[in-house]
Amino acid sequence: MNDTERQVPKHVAIIMDGNGRWATKRGYKRNIGHLEGSKTLEKLGIYILNQGVKVLSVFAFSTENFRRSREEVDYLMNLFVEMFTKKFKQFKKENIKVIFSGRKSPLRQDVLDAMAKMEEETKDNDKGILNICLNYGGQEELIDASRRIALDYKEGKLNLDGLNKESFAKYLYHDLPPIDLMIRTSGELRISNFMLYQLAYSEMVFTDVYFPDFKEKEFDKVLEEYYNRNRRFGGN
Ligand code: IPE
Ligand code: IPE
Ligand code: MG
């Protein structure tokens, strides 16, 4: 790809991993890493969506993360409430729309209320979308979509011949464009049940940097690598 073809990715996704190790390495409790990670997300999210990226999806909490200690899960849930009711005001000012993907159950009511507030306050914004995946699982999203498809079919609202990639996507949590660039921080080389449908032809970049340290400069480096990729989509 040469410079004239440097097209800003439309949909970027980040598996924000390594908060715990970032903190442990410094002799702090893991939760301090989550707090630092939330600060990084606030700045980085605005930076990325100000560059013409239309959608930024971030993995904040997986359905499997409920397996962690009670103390860590409680800390994260309290942090989410704090973020969505107080700290993320800048997204509103920056004209960014915040949406959530994932299952509601078994999230606490105060977390659900904070999410609803954040969504409501930013619903008319149109510069870009921050899609926060919280209590999210990629397999769960496909199962939930299949359930809705079955229901619509049963009620005669869906003609099976009309089911294709685009119409299927409308049954997902949100109808978002395919992911162009997926980044995972912290050196782990796996997907961990993240956006399985949307990642189909995504370019993937894995960096050893722990998420709290994944600042604007690190993103710039990843974007440079993306521009050097040759996307073929099965062609030649
Ligand atoms: C990512 O960091 C944040 C969440 C999964 C909530 P981790 O908490 O997984 O940090 P590590 O991978 O243990 O270092
Ligand atoms: C994936 O990270 C989930 C989030 C970043 C929210 P994990 O730390 O939970 O993933 P594994 O357990 O290393 O695969
Ligand atoms: Mg991790």
DSSP state letters, 118-170:
HHHHHTT--SEEEEEEEEE-HHHHHHHHHHHHHHHHHTT---GGG--HHHHHT
What pLDDT, in 10s, does the model give residues 25-76? 999 999 999 999 999 999 999 999 999 999 999 999 999 999 999 999 999 9
Give catalytic status of residue 17 as yes or no. yes
Q: How much is the pLDDT for 236?
A: 85
Whole-model pTM: value is 0.97
Cα(62) to centroid(ligand 2), Å? 7
Beta carbons of 58 and 13 less than 8 angstroms apart: yes
Q: What structural domains does the chain harbor?
A: 3-137+178-227 (3.40.1180.10)
- Rounded CA-CA distance 45/88 in Å is 10
**Which ligand approaches the C-alpha of residue 69 most closely?**
1
Beta bridge partners of 15: 59, 184
94 CA to middle of ligand 2, Å? 29
Which residue ranges have their beta carbon within 6 Å of ligand 2? 15-17, 59-62, 65, 188, 190, 192
User: Ligand 1 site: residues with CB under 6 angstroms?
Assistant: 16-21, 61, 65, 76, 186
pLDDT (0 to 100) of residue 5: 75
Q: Which residues of the chain have pLDDT under 70?
A: 1-4
Ligand 2 binding pocket mutation candidate from 61, 188, 196, 207 (most atoms within 8 A of CB): 188
Separation of 92 CA from ligand 2 center, angstroms? 28
Burial of 184 (0-12, 13-18, 19+ CB in 10 A): buried
45, 41, 48, 47: which is closest to 80 by C-alpha? 41
The confidence score (pLDDT) of residue 1 equals 53
The token duo for 11 is 């949909």
